[in-house]
């Protein structure tokens, strides 16, 4: 089960208790660039998950006891190795999930290293003030909780995986990670990296496999103590039901259908450029502002400028530095995106740009698409598509913009473009979302809370929120004069 991908050796077996472990069955990782199989990967199930959870439980007994400084040092060593391997990780990830190579090199892989550095440093200053109540001293401690199960999707595989793995390890949990079957390869490289960093056996484990097999076995496992899931709403419901009998605390980061509100007083160039950015990663971004709401007075100017700019987007092989967007992840996902667009057209909506596969490129490339004025109940306006498909509507007043923005089951993010600071604050306060950007997009600081409202998720991670989730937070009370000599 060894393959070479872009010149990099990949071991597609699981990583359990510090050893490579095989499975009787395997699956092919297929590249979205040309739909060719590029590596064989082990297809784990119940038995491999049991083995990994046992290894993680055993390792937990010593991992939970080592000092914070030692734990942080391991995480920094992992970050050092990731930094030294940015190129290797970037070329493999691009071949495996079809996201831009230039983004992996310059943004995503450095952020992967940052995930480890940040939580290592945060761990060292993690504190909660003691306080006295009628002379009794109250103290809060962050106790490691046990084995954390982590399940993540394919749209930014290593970044999203490590954004959970790093805080879990920092919190003193041991980890069983189930990577996405549509882009599983960098998880195998991460196992190599943790071994090279000297992480004790069993502290970090990878079970490769399909969601309905390995993922399902992990989510119902009675011995996991935390479950962090990033992915779609239907899978979240299945996982929540599977984990319910064990009363495992859940952290869910799910889909979105976020509003992108453009007021007439905005900087139009900035608004148009930022709106075009919602096509990034071929629309496969949970945070995308896919519902563009434009104030009536500037609607025509905005649409003209948007279309002029959208026509310059270069779609192509994500390994080409000149490409702006690449393919969809897989044939089933491509067909799903196409289905949404075809049904919208069938219902009488006309795309003003795009509207179908990019026939010049073939394969899984879908053209950046924009629909104008879908009715409020249109499927294309209500469902997360996770492709390069945006809708644009207009509004007459601030109140109407807020109503339209909040008319969704989701609540992950929102973008507001305005030149009026008071309005920005007023509207932000009324948008139901975990994250609101004013005159910007995708600016993230790991100290901040991250998560969504409604169907976009349960809980928050980032900074202290991550430790609140992965740790058993304990309050201890010390009585005054309670000590006997
Ligand atoms: P998905 O739900 O199909 O799969 C996500 C993960 O769950 C994969 O690892 C998969 O193997 C696993 N899985 C599938 N079925 C399972 C089951 N029955 N039991 C346990 N695990 C199972 O999602 P996807 O298509 O891979 O990813 C796209 C979705 O992820 C979109 O909805 C997107 O918005 C969301 N997402 C959210 C965030 C966020 O931070 N909020 C970030 C990225 C992606």
Ligand 1 pocket residue status of 230, Cβ below 6 Å: yes
Residue in 233, 371, 356, 230 with CA at minimum distance from that of residue 290: 371
With tokens 């945070």, the residue in question is 287
The answer to whether the pTM exceeds 0.75 is: yes
**Phi, psi for residue 484 in degrees, rounded to 5:** -100, 135
Residue nearest to atom 40 of ligand 1 (CA): 253
**Phi, psi for residue 321 in degrees, rounded to 5:** -60, -25
Q: How far apart are CA 140 and CA 384, in angstroms?
A: 40
**Ligand 1: centre distance to CA 100 (Å):** 20
Looking at residue 484, what is its pLDDT?
Answer: 67
Closest atom of ligand 1 to 210 CA is 11
Sign of CA dihedral 271, 273, 278, 279: positive
Phi-psi region of 134 (alpha: psi -120 to 50; beta: other; left: phi over 0): left
**Ligand 1: centre distance to CA 228 (Å):** 11
**Ligand 1: centre distance to CA 231 (Å):** 2
Angle between helical axes of 185-196 and 86-97 (0-180°, round to 10): 160
Ligand 1 pocket residue status of 180, Cβ below 6 Å: yes
Strand duo 14-16 + 8-11: pairing: unpaired
Q: Are 273 and 289 in contact (CB under 8 A)?
A: no
3-class SS letters over 423-466? HHHHHHHHCCCCEEEECCCCCCCCCCCECCCHHHEECCECHHHH
Catalytic residue numbers, as ranges: 253, 286
**Ligand 1: centre distance to CA 386 (Å):** 12
Q: Are 93 and 99 in contact (CB under 8 A)?
A: yes
Mutate to test the pocket of ligand 1, among 149, 186, 231 (most ligand atoms within 8 A of CB): 231
Closest atom of ligand 1 to 384 CA is 32
Looking at residue 128, what is its pLDDT?
Answer: 85
Looking at residue 133, what is its pLDDT?
Answer: 87
**Ligand 1: centre distance to CA 333 (Å):** 12
**Number of neighbouring beta carbons within 10 Å of residue 158:** 29
Ligand 1 pocket residue status of 215, Cβ below 6 Å: yes
Ligand 1 pocket residue status of 52, Cβ below 6 Å: no
Tokens of 436: 């609101």
Looking at residue 78, what is its pLDDT?
Answer: 98
Q: Averaged in consecutive runs of 10 residues, what is the pLDDT profile of the chain (485 residues)?
A: 96 98 97 98 98 98 98 98 98 98 98 98 93 91 97 98 98 98 98 98 98 98 98 98 98 98 98 98 98 98 98 98 98 98 97 97 97 97 98 98 98 98 98 98 95 98 97 94 69
Q: What is the largest CA-CA distance in the chain?
A: 85
Ligand 1 pocket residue status of 238, Cβ below 6 Å: yes
Q: How far apart are the first and last CA of the chain?
A: 65
């Amino acid at each position: 089960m060894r393959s070479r991908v872009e010149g990099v050796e990949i071991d597609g077996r699981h990583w359990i208790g510090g050893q490579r472990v095989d499975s009787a069955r395997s699956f092919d990782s297929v590249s979205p660039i040309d739909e060719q199989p590029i590596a064989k990967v082990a297809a784990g199930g119940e038995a491999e998950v049991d083995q990994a959870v046992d290894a993680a439980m055993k390792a937990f007994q010593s991992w939970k006891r080592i000092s914070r400084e030692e734990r942080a040092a391991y995480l920094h060593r992992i970050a050092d190795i990731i930094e030294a391997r940015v190129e290797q990780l970037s070329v493999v990830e691009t071949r495996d999930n079809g996201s831009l190579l230039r983004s992996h090199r310059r943004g995503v892989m450095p952020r992967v290293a940052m995930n480890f550095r940040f939580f290592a440093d945060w761990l060292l200053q993690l504190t909660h003030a003691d306080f006295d109540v009628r002379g009794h001293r109250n103290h809060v401690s962050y106790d490691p909780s046990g084995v954390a199960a982590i399940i993540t999707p394919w749209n930014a595989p290593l970044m999203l995986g490590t954004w959970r793995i790093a805080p879990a390890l920092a919190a003193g949990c041991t980890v069983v990670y189930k990577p996405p079957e549509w882009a599983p390869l960098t998880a195998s490289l991460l196992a190599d990296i943790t071994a090279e960093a000297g992480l004790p056996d069993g502290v970090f484990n990878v079970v490769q496999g399909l969601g309905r097999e390995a993922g399902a076995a992990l989510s119902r496992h009675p011995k996991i103590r935390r479950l962090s899931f990033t992915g779609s709403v239907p899978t979240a419901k299945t996982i929540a039901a599977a984990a319910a009998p064990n009363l495992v605390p859940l952290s869910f980061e799910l889909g979105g259908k976020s509003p992108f509100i453009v007021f007439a007083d905005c900087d139009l160039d900035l608004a148009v450029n930022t709106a075009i950015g919602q096509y990034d990663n071929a629309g496969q971004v949970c945070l995308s502002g896919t519902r563009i709401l434009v104030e009536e007075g500037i609607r025509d100017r905005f649409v003209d400028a948007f279309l002029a700019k959208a026509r310059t987007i270069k779609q192509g092989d994500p390994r080409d530095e000149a490409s702006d967007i690449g393919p969809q992840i897989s044939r089933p996902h491509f067909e799903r995106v196409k289905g949404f667009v075809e049904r919208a057209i069938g219902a009488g909506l006309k795309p003003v740009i795009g509207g179908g596969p990019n026939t010049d490129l073939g394969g899984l490339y879908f053209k950046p698409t924009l629909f104008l004025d879908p009715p409020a109940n249109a499927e294309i306006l209500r469902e997360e598509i996770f492709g390069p498909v945006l809708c644009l509507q207009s509004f007459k007043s601030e109140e109407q913009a807020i109503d339209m923005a909040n008319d969704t089951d989701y609540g992950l993010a929102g973008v507001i473009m305005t030149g009026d600071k008071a309005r920005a604050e007023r509207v932000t306060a009324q948008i139901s979302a975990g994250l609101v950007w004013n005159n910007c997009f995708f600016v993230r600081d790991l100290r901040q809370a991250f998560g969504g409202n409604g169907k976009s998720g349960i809980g928050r991670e980032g900074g202290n929120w991550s430790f609140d989730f992965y740790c058993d937070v304990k309050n201890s009370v010390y009585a005054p004069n309670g000590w006997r000599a």
